[in-house]
Amino acid sequence: MPYKIFIVLILLFSISMAVAADNSDFVVTKSPNDRITLTVSVKPELNYSVQFDGKEIITASKLGLKFKDAAPFRAFNVADIQGVLINNRWIDHWGRQREVVNLFWENVLTLVEKELPNRTLKLQCRVYNDGVALRYLIDEKTVGKKDYTLKQDLTEYNFVGNPTAWATLHKGFKTSQEEFFPKMTLKEIKSDAVIGCPLVVQALPEGPYVALAEADVKTWGGQFFKAENGKIKSAVAPRNDGDGLAKSQAPDASPWRLLIIAPKAINLVDQTILMNVSTPRDSKTDWSWVKPGNASWDWWSGSNVVMNTETIKGFIDFAAEMGWEYTFVDDPWYNGDTKKMGDKSNSVLKAFDKIDMDEVLKHAKAKNVRLFLWLNWLDIDRQMDEAFALYEKWGIAGVKIDFMDREDQEMIEWYDMTTQKAAQHKLLVDFHGAFKPNGYRRAHPNLITREGIRGNEYNKWSKLTPQHYCALPYTRLMLGPGDFTPGSFLNRYYDGPLVEGFKTAQGIGTRARELAISLVYDSPIRCLCDAPEVYRGQPGLEFFRGLPCVWDESQGVEGEIGEYFSLIRRSGNDWYYGAITDDKPRTLTLKLDFLDSGDYEATIYADTSETEKDARKISITKKTVRATDSLEVKMGREGGQTIVFKKVAE
């Protein structure tokens, strides 16, 4: 359905902003609902502040850039302001919300130095109902020449007081970004820590919550943060060659600096600002071949798996039984030795001698299951053009590329090159050892999912905490899809022993929670982790048959970061509800007023009285409900609940 695009150009004094009397001191931009106020000032230096419902949440915070071989900018005047209100909608075929509203006020400020050489810097400011977006526009008048090297992003985020935060801390910029999000105050963050995106802050005790992030990263390194006695500063990943943070050419635009703002923690998950500010896809490009779906996976099962033709065929058979679209063929399919991954002698153009790739491909085609192939990034980098052409000939659906563990400018450019080359051969991409989502997938939807998350694989050699499961929806997963690889059916408690009789990896928490995280954690390719022999005949398996991977609607219901989380989702006429809790039992009340009129059959997957002794135990019941009803949602410790609502034919 086509949508009308409304663009309203507004005169300077009528665009929900104000300028000081001398027309050079400050500019105010408000959100369409008037709850968020952004003020940009040039006195005593270029800075900004943010209010929510009239209360200051970001005090005067520095803005600006520093370039190589250039003096710092001196005091500015506001030479020009261009204001606009944008109100349109677009369709996301591969996300959590099909119809996305794009509504914001924008001001573009032209800033000119008061003294020679009178350099200019443009600041683009957008205020949405769910946050603030800022970016720098750089031209030759900014840098004095065409080429430039960025030395420092001076953007700061000065919160009021010493608020609570959820921060993922790294030892350096070269990282897989697979950490926890522990709760702390900003002043507890040490100055030597490299803080990852997003940094989530409870700005005031009563809210709002603010998540610091970025979007539309094209020519810079990725954004991290540093803390100095509670003051948060932007920290762009340095170039891998050590020459600054970015080398580029004017005219150029920095990535968007985002302050995602939500009245309550649960509202963070409904943000659309990150994708809204990101570059849209080319409407002339055919992306109809990008198909979400569920997948089986051989790697999780660990010591029980021998990588050979029959093993791969077994996982293909199970995917076909379940109606799943894909199977992941993981390390070490092309050389048989995980210790040699990245060795220059490796070839990604053929399988090692225990795998008959012709037979595997023929079997997959007969079963109507398509394959993803795992690749070490160093191996595919040497042979990319030849390999992608070969994979297209083989009928491969996608590639899972691993171990980059960097977010510098060169690596971001490598992601872009790889994704675009993959698209030329109709290959989906799943990056592992990856950096966080930054909106790139809006323009390139074949980048279907990515890691950059402390996922289920960690349960193979350590344990994920109950709090981690309940922090992810508000933190890493709030930014975009995460290949968490849910679906463990060997369920045990965090403080409990391994399930006896199995050598395979085992998940933490109850089976009901494992079903719930499969629903509430977003990934257009849902890689379900366990082995066919663990799944078959088990209660709860039917939940995965036909479970959608993308949604028409999604909305957070209630929760607190690291404690519990719940949401509702719609696919067509069917509604889904998922809830998870930490190490505390919890009872919620779910109002069903989101349903249409008439009867629905609710299938409820829940913890039961037996679950306390055996985390694999699950209750599956059916009940007829209507929109006027409410349901009691009981969860045991480390538990969860999912409910599927299907309309009863009248």
Which residues is 190 bridged to in the sheet?
none
Q: What DSSP state is assigned to residue 331?
A: T
Lowest mean pLDDT among 415-424, 485-494, 497-506: 497-506
**How distant, in Å, are the alpha carbons of 74, 315, 441, 484, 504 from that of 299?**
56, 11, 26, 13, 10
Instruction: With a cut of 60, say whether residue 3 has pLDDT above it.
Output: no
- Mean pLDDT for 323-327 is 98
Per-residue pLDDT band for 131 (boundaries 50, 70, 90) equals very high
- Cα 490 from Cα 541, distance rounded (Å): 12
Instruction: With a cut of 60, say whether residue 21 has pLDDT above it.
Output: no
Q: Which secondary-structure segment (H or E) carries 60?
A: strand 55-62
pLDDT tens per residue, range 214-257? 999 999 999 999 999 999 999 999 999 999 999 999 999 999 99
Task: Provide the percentage of residues in the chain whose pLDDT is more than 70.
Answer: 96
- Cα 336 from Cα 190, distance rounded (Å): 43
**How distant, in Å, are the alpha carbons of 269, 281, 321, 467, 474 from that of 274?**
11, 15, 38, 25, 14
- Alpha carbon of residue 99 to chain centroid: 18
Per-residue pLDDT band for 13 (boundaries 50, 70, 90) equals very low
pLDDT at residue number 20: 36
pLDDT at residue number 332: 85
Type of residue at 562 = G
Q: How many CA atoms lie within 13 A of 356 on its CB side?
A: 7
pLDDT tens per residue, range 583-592? 999 999 999 9
- Alpha carbon of residue 24 to chain centroid: 39
Per-residue pLDDT band for 24 (boundaries 50, 70, 90) equals low
pTM, 2 dp: 0.95
Of 427, 417, 422, 451, whose CA–CA distance to 437 is shortest? 451
Tell me the Cα Rg of the chain. Answer: 25
Q: How is residue 255 written in tokens?
A: 């990535």
